[in-house]
Chains A and B, each alone.
Chain A
Amino acid sequence: MSQIEQELFQRLSDAVVDMDEDEAVAAANEVVERGIDAYRAIELGLSAGMERAGQLFDEEEYFIPELLMCSDAMYAGMDVLKPHLRSDGVSEKHKVVIGVVEGDTHDIGKNLVKIMLETSGFDVTDLGRDIPPARFVETAKEIGANIIALSTLMTTTMEGMGAVVRQLSEEGIRDRFKVIVGGGPISQGFADRIGADGYAVNAADAIRLARSLVAPAEAAA
């Protein structure tokens, strides 16, 4: 890596950690002007910065407002770099369908997980909030998802998660998808009870979980 590349990647990463959208855009523009590979700038600059932000979140240095602003800086840089991605250099991404289950409209947690998944290289389809079980299943089939990620904050709506797993089983396609669950009232015990493949306690943990769930498939392929 040339020194100038290294400097620019570091600036992108710092801009994300410092929640500085303008700086992220400026550094991204410089990447484009100098003809530096956009994919590497995203991976080694913006994503690396988001990973550092996620670590600060894990360490309780950053909280949700900070993480959201970091992600704004990341997306601002991404918007500049995306048109310059060479499609041949980009490998097929793992696909995730994410949403808040029916009956609940609290989506801060879901949005965080979505951001962190996108930063980590997943292709995320966000259904939004208040989503009936059948829509998760339909969309997952439609896009050939690897993972279905379900979120809720309310105890009254937790059973919607079980309904998704049941529908997959009834249609005989349970083994085609990994189902992961999270949100305030959710626990590992609950995840086990409804037959989900995993539970994550927060956004950073969700990324570790998603990566570990798609890893064996990759090794087999």
Chain B
Amino acid sequence: MSLSPKERLLDTLAKKKVDRPPVVCTGGMMNAAIVDVMNRTGHTLPEGHFRSDLMAELATDVNQDTGFENFGIPFCMTVEAEVLGSEIDFGTLACEPKIAREPFATNAQVQFRDIDKLLDSGRIRQVAEAALLLSRSNPDVPVIGSITGPVSTAASIVDPMNFLKELHKKREDSHRVLDYVSDFLISFARLLVDGGASAICIGDPTATGEILGPRMFQEYAVTYLNKVIDGIHATGVPVLVHICGEMKAVKSSIPQLHSDAISTDAFVNLKALKEEYPQLTTMGNLSTFLLELGEPDKVSRHTAGLVRDGIDIISPACGLSTASSILNIQAMTQTVKDGGRGW
């Protein structure tokens, strides 16, 4: 009997044997709401960032058009920072939302607000409601709720240059803000799980080896990613973590993360990572340049290579360009569904 997409993903994350790897795109940092899809369906951004019904419709369009075997919401990384006080530029159809201004110059200035109140503000409830709509309409397809990681969220509310310096200079302040942000992220993720999310993906692009270096990565990124992961695990759902950039400097910290899968950027040799740390469930890492600028044949060939290498979950390596071609994405998903055969 063949597995449903949800069973396949959850079994993979539970390290059970499956017929073939799932092919997913998590939303959030890895938003697959590309221009091609929106132009066809008329369910568009930026409107879809605000309304749960539109968010659910667009996530459904993405699932149907691209062949990715999940729903991925939200479509940006600004839901958390908005609620914590940042000014957001919501972007356009083709350009994702971003932080226009961080409200706090330093960690010491961060206002600690009641988390229950935070959950009732911004777009938090809309995203949770979209998860509910999606999980009800398609119980066989996993909803992946995407959240922004603690280091990136903190660096989205505190001036990032000062934030990075204070990791050294004002460690207590840094820990206090990261702890607060992590508590909030756990609560947000729990709302998504209550809404029916089957898994949570954490993207933390500021928490990279290249930016932080091994010591700061260990002290802050590992500590607070694990805090958030543990808080989500308590609800019973698995957690995926995406690490951006070159990982060499922090590779030895990776097995210490409590997540159920590790997703990496395109430079990382996932096969080699798996050989070195066989306990890891790997996810990735098809080049997003290839998806934007390549041809379907080449996309299929590279995708089949990932399947042959035994990568556990096939996914884009990083944030997709909204100008990526639908034909390339379909070539990617279809190749995985064919078991990587023919290449």
Contacts and interface: CB of A to CB of B under 8 A. Distances in A.
Interface of A: 19, 60, 62-66, 68-69, 72, 103-108, 111, 130, 154-157, 184-185, 187
A56 to B, nearest CB: 11
B235 to A, nearest CB: 32
A65 B213 CA distance: 9
A68 B216 contact: no
B44 interface: no
B164 A68 contact: yes
A63 B96 CA distance: 28
29 contacts: A19-B168, A60-B249, A63-B213, A64-B164, A64-B210, A64-B211, A64-B213, A65-B164, A65-B165, A65-B167, A65-B168, A65-B212, A65-B213, A68-B164, A69-B165, A69-B169, A72-B165, A103-B98, A105-B89, A105-B98, A107-B160, A108-B161, A154-B96, A155-B289, A155-B320, A156-B94, A156-B321, A185-B288, A185-B289
A151 B322 CA distance: 19
Given A155-B292, A156-B322, A63 B165 contact: no
A104 B211 contact: no
B14 interface: no
A132 to B, nearest CB: 13
The 10 closest A-B pairs by CB, nearest first: A63-B213, A155-B321, A65-B164, A105-B98, A64-B211, A103-B95, A68-B165, A65-B167, A156-B95, A69-B165
Interface string B155-183: 00000110011011100000000000000
A104 B213 CA distance: 24
Contacts, number: 69
Nearest to A184: B245
A64 B98 CA distance: 22
Contacts of A155: 288-289, 292, 319-321
B105 interface: no
B299 to A, nearest CB: 16
